[in-house]
Amino acid sequence: MRIGFIGDIVGRPGRRMVRQFLPKLRESETLDFVIANYENASHGFGLTEKNAKELFAAGIDAMTGGNHTWDKKEIKGLLESMPLLRPVNYPEGVPGRGVRTFQVGEERLAVVNLMGHYGMPMVDNPFIVVNRVVEVLRAEGVANILVDMHAEATSEKRALLMMLKDKVSAIFGTHTHVGTDDLVIDHGCAYVTDVGLTGCRDNVIGMDAKVPIERFLTGLPGRFEVPDKCRAILQMVVVEFKEGRAVSAYKVRAYGEGEVERTLKARIEARGEA
């Protein structure tokens, strides 16, 4: 199966990029299933019902969240009625689900949404929780397992790869909005530290640069705004799974001006001793 994974969609420019490019990319990259991170999709904070419908209509099949999942109140209902996830390591009793299994052609695909610890809300230990979740999925016979690791610290993401590379098919990082160039397939597990944002590629992490500059100059708080006019980008990792292992992966960058580039063909690390 061939999967597209789009990083954090930030505000209207991000949604516009998904509408502009995803229908064509589903065809050209022969994608069977598309996942995206929604937590900044509605004006940079959370997800509204209207925007969720817009993104699903553009060709997304399932969406993951993060620390900003809760920014719009209506999300609690949407987590039940739509194929949306929130991090699995929130404590018991929190609305929504952090694991969902989908039928993709003849096969099953599990999507796990996980959140790191560093600089994040106080949630359960992601490493302990994900071990438990992956064991259950494997016991149920689900071979294709994709993890969205929503985290600030690169070390947490790398440690997750080292811990799970034999047990899951892909680990893709989100949250920093800055795409990294370390796409790799290690022991059949596709990995990138951060997929990078879909939205304004200028400014600061998709937000109007004026506010963060002022915050850094003065130390005073300020409300982030998504600029309406900007140079935009869509960033997506394409990965192919065979019998639960990643066999190829690369990155697609589509620019608002119309150009599409395929880049970062994943290095496949040999299995066994280095």
Binding-site string for Fe ion from residue 67 to residue 96, where x marks contact by CB under 5 A and - marks none:
x-----------------------------
What tokens were used for 42?
A: 């509605």
* Alpha carbon separation from 239 to 125, 171, 215, 264 (Å, rounded): 28, 11, 38, 12
Beta carbon nearer to Fe ion, 71 or 107: 71
Beta carbon nearer to Fe ion, 7 or 227: 7
Binding-site string for Fe ion from residue 217 to residue 256, where x marks contact by CB under 5 A and - marks none:
----------------------------------------
Bridge partners of residue 37, in order along the sequence: 8, 64
Beta carbon nearer to Fe ion, 26 or 175: 175
What is the H or E stretch that residue 110 is in?
strand 107-115
Beta carbon nearer to Fe ion, 25 or 192: 192
Bridge partners of residue 250, in order along the sequence: 238
Site residues (CB under 5 A) for Fe ion, limited to 142-181: 175
Shortest distance, CB of residue 152 to Fe ion, whole angstroms? 8
Q: Which of 143, 159, 160 is nearest to 109 (CA)?
A: 143
Query: Annotated catalytic, 187?
Result: no
Shortest distance, CB of residue 160 to Fe ion, whole angstroms? 16
* Alpha carbon separation from 211 to 115, 182, 217, 237, 243 (Å, rounded): 26, 30, 10, 30, 47
Shortest distance, CB of residue 261 to Fe ion, whole angstroms? 26
Q: Determine the interface stretch with Fe ion among 28-36, 64-72, 99-107, 263-271 (rule: CB under 5 A).
A: 64-72
Shortest distance, CB of residue 55 to Fe ion, whole angstroms? 17
Measure the CA–CA gap between 168 and 260, rounded to whole angstroms: 29
Measure the CA–CA gap between 198 and 103, rounded to whole angstroms: 26
* Alpha carbon separation from 93 to 41, 57, 88, 148, 205 (Å, rounded): 25, 30, 11, 21, 32
Shortest distance, CB of residue 238 to Fe ion, whole angstroms? 23
Residue 66 in the binding site for Fe ion (CB under 5 A): yes
Give the binding-site size for Fe ion (rule: CB under 5 A).
3
Residues with catalytic annotation? 68
Give the residues lining the site for Fe ion (CB under 5 A): 66-67, 175
